[in-house]
Structure 1
Amino acid sequence: MVLLYVFGAVALINCAYYLLFSKFSFLKPTEKVVSVKDPVSLIVCAKNEAENLKKHIPLWQQQDYPEYQIILINDASIDDTLEVMESFAENDPRIQIVNVRNNEAFWGNKKYALTLGLKRSVNTRLIFTDADCYPASNKWLEKMATKFTDQKQLLLGYGAYEKQPGLLNKLIRFETLMTAVQYFSYAEAGIPYMGVGRNLAYTSTLYYENNGFMSHIKVPSGDDDLFVNEAATKDNVELCVEPEAFTYSIPKKKFSSWIKQKKRHYSTAKLYKIKHRFLLGAYYIFNLLFWLLGAATLFTEFWILGLVIMFIRVAFQYLIIGYAAKKLKAKDLIPFILFFELFLIFTQLSIFISNRGEKTPRWK
């Protein structure tokens, strides 16, 4: 009977997290009319991205926004990245190129490259994406930029992955969905802790007030989530989750490549503020305990009650995550929620174990 009580308590904590996630799932969109559109700077750091730039620069140029600057940063590429940038800049005065060469102190450091790019901005409001990302529409910049106010200086957007055939594609998109549900929900609850560089915006004022990336400049990754973790407050963050404001990129094709990418992303989480590490760690631990204890109760005389508890928790999960999936244009993932949750729990456990003692991979 003690096992059942413990299982029930764990399931209750699980539901409490999903109740937190409902802050995003049931968030009603707010469309504000802005008559004055302040100029913005779009900043893209590229390393060996010649082919992606050929496809995506035209989409950035076609944004329906009255005044914006495009800052393209060539981060010591060894392919034709710089040449591609220059070919577009010849016919578009909005494009400014920052050519970064490696130096001994900041070898292969994306934050160093971004810092140089930021200094070229003539506008206070900055919007960031990656070279392998493309906007969902020509309204992307407008949707993001009009979220800025004097108080809201940090905007969290959604960086999605293309829907393609295959189980791995669904797994990657589900993991991206769950990550977004968490950081959007925490932000709505007044506890912002991260954002993704595929779709992120903040003001240069906020950047300089927080001394840029200096507190973690030696950490190769985390130009997005570590900056947000440090600079975000309950008052200065706004969400931008309209479908027209999504960005998309092509996910990894091989499981090993995706795992390598995730190991790099997870390695920065240990540098989050203590309260964020606690909340995120507790969510993972109680998810793991739910399934372990749930399986154990099935081998006791109270297995029917165990099934009832499991059903209630899973129904709550499907309701909350299902609504979020629809909002983020990923409703095809809803039937796979349980399967992918279980898979991710043990995948994250293996990544956590393998990451211990490893050096953080460099930006490539």
Structure 2
Amino acid sequence: MGLFLLWFLFGIGIFIQIIYLLVIFGRTAFYKLPKSGGSTADEEAVTVVVPAHNEYKNLKVLIPKLFEQDYPKYDVLVINDRSTDRTKRLLEEMMAIYPRLRSVTVKYTPSHVTSKKYALTLGIKVAKSDVILLTDADCIPASDQWIRKMTQPVRTQDKVFSIGYSGYERVSGFLNKWIQFETLKTGLYYLSFALWKAPFMGVGRNLCYRRSFFMEVKAFKGIWHIEGGDDDLFVNRYATGKNTAVVIDPEANTLSKPKENWKEYKVQKKRHLHAGKYYRGEDKRKIGFYALSHALFWIGGLGLLIYFGLEGNWERFLIVFGIILVRSFLLLGIFTSASKKINGSKVPANILINDFLYLGYFWVLGSVSHQSKDIQWK
């Protein structure tokens, strides 16, 4: 009975894994990059919105980068959210240098709402343009074509949402290798399902939508009280296969500074994973089926290897090991191809090791985040 159960778990796991890797993640891995379109004389104006809380050092780098963009009609709006550092003085100095830079200062946050959503709402309300392009203060555009490419579906294809990818700088150390892997995996989830006309999330570090739609649905109505979710929960509520487009292009990415220690990373991921608690049921299942099949695959596979190894049944041991090996090569191939399409770069290191470690990450940290009540933005 125990042997049958192990085979059953292993079989179900590998079956679902192959479906996800080839049919779903394959949409990103085998995606054909569109031909670059030229500029037009009547390109719609864009407002780049940057929420910032004590981001003096990051804004000092970001703001000049934003004004290197090759796009004719745009302004930059920085939302100074209760900053106590030199952010205000920096913005005043920068506005004297860059006429298209504006700022909004948030002095307090009402008790019934979360700080970042409140700050974003105040900023978006006074944005000059209907096309809003969001990023964070610790991000920089990957190229001078970022505005043009990220906003193109909203400006020219009558889309409400344009979902992009935001990666992290590569530095040495195991934590960074893990961040690269987990970020690429998350990107595979939401980009692939959006390509399948079933979008369920986006990241606020690289997200575009129309201000008029934001105001029409009354901003973050229904999710004001949830810390985080200003990006993924907003997309989860309102994005559809018809009103949403995906932008997969290395030139349309943003690049963020990675967390430098496990404590900061844990705070960040708890916030991200906690928001998933409020996804629609069907979207929870999109993530859950992969995570469950991933666990069944490894539990069943390792269980069979141990069983046949102890029995000395090396023929069946090699069959199971061969199946695991095939799935590993398939995973590596999909991730390698997807990384080239998304980032224009090689796949992150330690993919196969991190794939195994993902078991603990998802089930342990995910469970803790689901129950946590100490979620915070800053």
Alignment-derived partner of residue 321 in structure 1: 335
Which residue does 2:18 correspond to in 1? 15
Q: Deviation at 1:291?
A: 0.6
Residue 170 (structure 1) shift: 1.0
- 2:172 is equivalent to residue 168 of structure 1: no
Give the deviation of 1:360 after TM superposition: 4.5
The answer to whether residue 323 in structure 2 is matched with residue 309 in structure 1 is yes
CA contact (8 A) 1:108 1:362 kept: no
Q: Does 1:354 align with 2:368?
A: yes
Kept in 1: contact 2:109–2:115 (CA 8 A)? no
- Conserved 8 A contact 1:4-1:306: no
Q: Deviations over 1:177-230 (max 9, x none)?
A: 100011000000111011111111001122123221111011121100001101
1:71 and 1:356 map into 2 onto residues whose CA distance is 33
Q: CA deviation at 1:33?
A: 3.8
Q: Does 1:338 align with 2:352?
A: yes
TM-score by length of 1: 0.95
Find 2:31's aligned residue among 27, 33, 40.
27
Q: Residues 43 and 266 (structure 1 numbering): CA distance in 2 closer, same or farther, change over 3 Å? A: same
> What corresponds to 1:118 in structure 2?
124
1:188 counterpart = 2:188: no
Which residue does the alignment assign to 1:283?
Answer: 290
Distance 2:8 2:166 in 1: 40
Name the counterpart of 2:141. Answer: 135
Cα distance between partner residues in 1 of 2:65 and 2:124:
21
After TM superposition, give the deviation of residue 356 of structure 1 in Å.
4.5
| 3-state SS, counterpart of residue 375 of structure 2 | coil
2:79–2:104 CA contact under 8 A, matched in 1: yes
Whether 2:177 is the aligned partner of 1:177: answer no
1:37 corresponds to 2:43:
yes
Instruction: Give the fraction of aligned pairs with identical amino acids, expressed as a percent.
Output: 35
Question: Unmatched 5+ residue regions in structure 2?
Answer: none
* TM-score between the two structures when normalised by the length of structure 2: 0.92
Letter in 1 for 2:28: F
1:335–1:363 distance in 2 versus 1, CA, 3 Å: closer
Which amino acid in 2 is paired with 1:16? Answer: I
Q: Which amino acid aligns with 2:153?
A: K
Q: Matched residues in 2 for 1:16 and 1:221: separation?
A: 31
What residue ranges of structure 1 are gaps of 5+ in the alignment? none
Paired amino acid for 2:15: L
Q: Report if aligned partners of 1:220, 1:360 keep a CA contact under 8 Å in 2.
A: no
**Shift, 1:274, TM fit:** 0.5
Change (3 A) 1:330 1:285: farther
